[in-house]
Amino acid sequence: MNIAILGFGTVGYGVYELAQKVPEVDVKYILDLKKHDDISAKSVTDINEILNDASVDTVVELIGGHHPAYDFIVASLKSGKNVITANKLVICEHYEELTALAKENKVALRYTAAVGGGIPWLTNLERTIKTSSVHKIRGIFNGTTNYILDAMHSTSAQFEDALKEAQKLGFAEADPSSDIDGLDTKRKIAISSNIAFGIVTDSNEVNVIGIRNVTAEAIKDCEAHGYICRLIAKARRCDEGVSAWVEPTFVKNDTVYASVTQNFNHISIDADNLGYGSFFGYGAGRYPTAFTVVNDVIDVANGNKKTYNENMEKISINNDIVAHSYYIITSLVDEIKELGIKETWKYGVLTEPISIRKMHTLYAKLLEKDPKIFIAGVY
- Quick one: 94 or 324, whose CB is closer to ligand HSE? 94
- Quick one: 19 or 284, whose CB is closer to ligand HSE? 284
Q: Give alpha helix (H) positions in the chain.
A: 10-19, 47-51, 69-78, 88-93, 95-104, 121-131, 143-155, 159-168, 177-180, 183-197, 216-224, 286-301, 333-337, 356-369
Least distance in angstroms from the C-beta of 160 to ligand HSE: 18
Query: Could you give the CA distance from residue 211 to residue 114 in angstroms, rounded to a whole number?
Result: 21
Query: Could you give the CA distance from residue 246 to residue 263 in angstroms, rounded to a whole number?
Result: 17
Query: Could you give the CA distance from residue 27 to residue 140 in angstroms, rounded to a whole number?
Result: 34
Secondary structure class of 69 (helix, strand, coil): helix
Query: Could you give the CA distance from residue 139 to residue 350 in angstroms, rounded to a whole number?
Result: 22
Torsion angles phi and psi, residue 7, rounded to 5: 100, 125
Q: Are 324 and 378 in contact (CB under 8 A)?
A: yes
- Quick one: 233 or 359, whose CB is closer to ligand HSE? 233
342 is annotated as an active-site residue: no
The active-site residue, picked from 28, 81, 188, 234, is: 188
Binding residues vs ligand HSE (CB under 6 A): 142-144, 179, 184, 283-284
- Quick one: 174 or 314, whose CB is closer to ligand HSE? 174
Burial class (CB in 10 A: 0-12, 13-18, 19+), 314: exposed
DSSP structural state of residue 352: P
- Quick one: 146 or 325, whose CB is closer to ligand HSE? 146
- The residues annotated as belonging to the active site are 188
